[in-house]
A and B are shown apart, each in its own frame.
Chain A
Amino acid sequence: DAGVIQSPRHEVTEMGQEVTLRCKPISGHNSLFWYRQTMMRGLELLIYFNNNVPIDDSGMPEDRFSAKMPNASFSTLKIQPSEPRDSAVYFCASSFQGEKLFFGSGTQLSVL
C-alpha cells in the first residue's frame, strides 16, 4: 500500500481564495483524521470521521472550514475564504478501528 496520500504537497494562495486539501486514506482503514500543525499551537485535531461519518468536528476553528468524506477512499478539507492565520501544515491520518494512526506527508499551506 502507498500509505496515506495527501495533495497538494504545497499550496500558496492569496487571502480570500478558496483552498481544498485532499486525502486518500489507506485502503481498509475506517477512521480518518485531519490535523493542523503550527509552531504556536502545535498539532491540533480538526475533525475525524468513522466509517465516512463525521464524529467530532469540535476542533474546526470556524465556519470557514469544512470537511467531507464522500466515500471510504477520499476526503477533503476546504477553507473558504482563506486567511493568513490559516497558514500551517495540514495532516491527514487514517487508522483501522481507531488505533495506530498512519499519517500522510502533509500539505504546507501558505496564505499571503
Chain B
Amino acid sequence: SQQGEEDPQALSIQEGENATMNCSYKTSINNLQWYRQNSGRGLVHLILIRSNEREKHSGRLRVTLDTSKKSSSLLITASRAADTASYFCAPGPGGATNKLIFGTGTLLAVQP
C-alpha cells in the first residue's frame, strides 16, 4: 500500500511549544506531501519534499525525509492555537498521475 501512516494519532500541546508528527510508508516514492485539515474543511497542502531532499523548511514548518527508513517528520515550531487541526502525510509515487492515498492523520490540539 502507498498509504502513509501518521504517528501519534493525537497530540496535545501548549501554545508556544513545538509539535512533531511522524509518517511512515512502505513503497518507493518520488515525493512526500503534508496536508492540514481544519474541522469540516478540505485539506490544505502544506509542503512537498522530494525523494532526493532530506530537509525542507517553510515558515514555522520543518519537514525531514529519510528514504532509507521510509519515514518523514513534520515539525511545527512555536505552535499557535490556530495550528489546531488534523495533519496528514501522503507518499507520492510520482509520474503524471500522482495518486495520493491518505492515512488517518494526527489530530493536533494546541491549548492557548
Contacts and interface: CB of A to CB of B under 8 A. Distances in A.
Contact of B42 (A31, A91, A97): A91
B100 A50 contact: no
Contacts, number: 63
A92 B101 CA distance: 14
Given A42-B103, A100-B33, A48 B42 contact: no
B88 A43 contact: yes
| Secondary structure call for the A interface | strand
Contact of A45 (B42, B99, B105): B99
A50 B96 contact: yes
A101 B45 contact: yes
Interface size class of A (residues with CB under 8 A): 20 to 34
Interface residues of B, number: 24
B95 to A, nearest CB: 7
Nearest to A56: B99
Interface in B9-49: 31, 33, 35, 40-45, 48
Nearest to B90: A101
A84 interface: no
A8 B104 CA distance: 26
A27 B105 CA distance: 29
Given A42-B105, A99-B92, A91 B43 contact: yes
Interface in A37-73: 42-43, 45, 48, 50, 55-56
Contacts of A56: 97, 99
A56 to B, nearest CB: 6
A106 B100 contact: no
A103 B43 CA distance: 6
Interface of A: 4, 31, 33, 35, 42-43, 45, 48, 50, 55-56, 89, 91, 93, 95, 97-106
Given A98-B92, A98-B94, 8 more contacts: A43-B43, A45-B101, A91-B43, A99-B98, A100-B48, A101-B100, A103-B42, A103-B44
